[in-house]
Amino acid sequence: MNSTGTNSAAEAFRRLHDTAPVGVWSAPGRVNLIGEHTDYNDGFVLPFAIPQRTWVAAASREDGVLTLATVEGDRTVTAEPLDVSEVEPGGVTGWAAYPAGVAWVLRQQGITGGAALVITGDVPRGAGLSSSHSLEVASALALLGLSGRNASRSDVAKWVQVAENDFVGAPTGLLDQTASLCCTDAHVLFLDVRSGQQEQVPFDAARHGLEVLVIDTRVSHSLVESGYGERRRGCEEAARLLGLPSLRDAETWDGLPAHLQPLVRHVITENRRVQDTVELLRQDRYEEIGPLLSASHASLRDDYRVSCAELDVAAATAEEAGALGARMIGGGFGGSAIALVPREVRGEVERRVAEAFAENGFTAPRTFVAVPSAGAGRDL
Ligand code: GLA
């Protein structure tokens, strides 16, 4: 656990409220090793939690009011105080909509108390690493913790999804919340979204001399406005035309209108790639997952069409420079890519990707090595 982050959230709370918080809760961002745009099709995903987290220092308030502040270094931003019994979708915009949406959904579960939340964090924003979900999950655990109520992690994940879909207005699936809540140190989480079944699969790339390099393209994406919703509706339409409950059950795209066929092909092949990756990891054949990552990228680029020039340059250049495989992660249209790199070529991959971005006139990318880290919890 990152005690510096916990302590600085508690310290920020003390500075703003002249008293210690009752507790500090935190939740990580995530990398999805493979299994993209499969979650809302009832399919398979394979994420791990990254070390970067959002911390929420919190205390109850007797007056039913929710106060929200974010602290970044010397900068504090405070949102309009909200009456928890009155907060409704559409009433809050910007970053405050995430914790407000969580308070709104918890109210429907009978958890209604006011609270003061002070938020800090280091998950890069708009980078496809789930910064907003980490804020929602940490807020949910804080409000739940203050209320003294218990809930299962899968219930919390579902509540956070409702907040995200119906309050924030982003039609996302269950991948990000579940990753933030249920991932564990040194493992990837093999999640079957349909059944809710989870398996923690050991993931120790370092033992194989490998690293997962995250390349943040700095192209900011919004799941509220992007083609995300359009893809999701396309999948729903395809499932309806195939007479299936969801594309999880699809075995062919034959007979579908031409514009839906590639969507279905992506979902079918991506679910297979997730299962194949898990199998290779179980057998300790780490190097062999590289081609599956690259095939996932090609499928997202050509069939699902959610990539962008920066993600394509990042993935292609990483491979040319010696990565075993590379792919965009998250919703797409910006955000981050990952590359599976032998440790000794990481520097070369970073250098060549930076060069390619400069040559193309793109903003310089940010890179870091992601290691599977702990999921959300109470830190203090
Ligand atoms: C975003 C969404 C997830 C998932 C991915 C694509 O991260 O929040 O629910 O659909 O995109 O795999």
What the chain holds in terms of domains, given with CATH numbers, is: 3-196 (3.30.230.10), 204-370 (3.30.70.890)
Q: Which residue blocks in the chain are alpha helix, DSSP H?
A: 3-17, 97-107, 131-147, 153-162, 175-182, 228-242, 261-282, 289-298, 309-320, 346-359
Query: How many angstroms is it from 171 CA to the middle of ligand 1?
Result: 9
Q: How far apart are CA 372 and CA 210, in angstroms?
A: 13
| Cα 261 to ligand 1 centre (Å) | 20
Q: Whose CA is nearest to atom 1 of ligand 1?
A: 331
C-alpha 115 to ligand 1 mean position (Å): 29
How many whole angstroms from 175 Cα to the centroid of ligand 1? 6
Residue 74 CB partners (closer than 8 Å, separation 6+): none
Residue 273: how many CA atoms within 13 Å on its side-chain side?
28
Q: Is the CB of 332 under 6 A from ligand 1?
A: no
Using CA positions, which residue lies closest to atom 8 of ligand 1? 172
331 touches ligand 1 (CB under 6 Å): yes
* Closest C-alpha to 313, from 353, 367, 365, 366: 353
Q: How far apart are CA 206 and CA 287, in angstroms?
A: 12
Query: Phi and psi at residue 24, in whole multiples of 5°?
Result: -125, 130
Please report, in tens digits, the pLDDT of each residue of the chain (380 residues total): 568 999 999 999 999 999 999 999 999 999 999 999 999 999 999 999 999 999 999 999 999 999 999 999 899 999 999 999 999 999 999 999 999 999 999 999 999 889 999 999 999 998 999 999 999 999 999 999 999 999 999 999 999 999 999 999 999 999 999 999 999 999 999 999 999 999 999 999 999 999 999 999 999 876 656 799 999 999 999 999 999 999 999 999 999 999 999 999 999 999 999 999 999 999 999 999 999 999 999 999 999 999 999 999 999 999 999 999 999 999 999 999 999 999 999 999 999 999 999 999 999 999 999 999 999 999 99
Atom from ligand 1 closest to the CA of residue 170: 8
CA of 305 to the centre of ligand 1 (A): 14
- How far is 8 from 326, CA to CA, in rounded Å? 35
β-strand pairing of 198-202 with 23-32: unpaired
Q: What is the largest CA-CA distance in the chain?
A: 66
For Cα atoms 166, 71, 370, give the angle at the middle one, nearest 5 degrees.
75
Using a 6 Å cutoff on CB, does residue 203 contact ligand 1?
A: no
- The answer, yes or no, to whether any atom of ligand 1 lies below 6 A from the CB of 266, is no
Catalytic member of 39, 42, 176, 216: 176
Distance between Cα 223 and ligand 1 center (Å): 8
| 37 C-beta closer than 6 A to ligand 1 | yes
pLDDT value of residue 224: 58
Q: Whose CA is nearest to atom 2 of ligand 1?
A: 172
pLDDT at 112: 85
Residue 30 bridge partners (DSSP): 49
Q: Answer whether 43 contacts ligand 1 (Cβ < 6 A).
A: no
State the closest ligand 1 atom to the C-alpha of 38, by its place in the atom list counted from 1. 12
- Under DSSP, is residue 329 helix (H, G, I), strand (E, B) or coil? coil
Catalytic annotation present for 303: no
- Cα dihedral 336, 202, 44, 371 in deg (nearest 10): -10
- What pTM was computed for the model? 0.97
HSE on the CB side for 234, CA within 13 Å? 23
How does strand 210-216 pair with strand 336-342? antiparallel
Owner of token pair 């190097």: 287
Taking the C-alpha atoms of residue 2 and residue 26, their distance in angstroms, rounded to an integer, is 10
Please state whether 305 falls in left (phi above 0), alpha (psi between -120 and 50) or beta.
left
The structure tokens listed for 265 are: 């092909």
Indicate the SS3 state at residue 339. Answer: strand
With a 6 A CB cut-off, is 46 part of the ligand 1 pocket? no
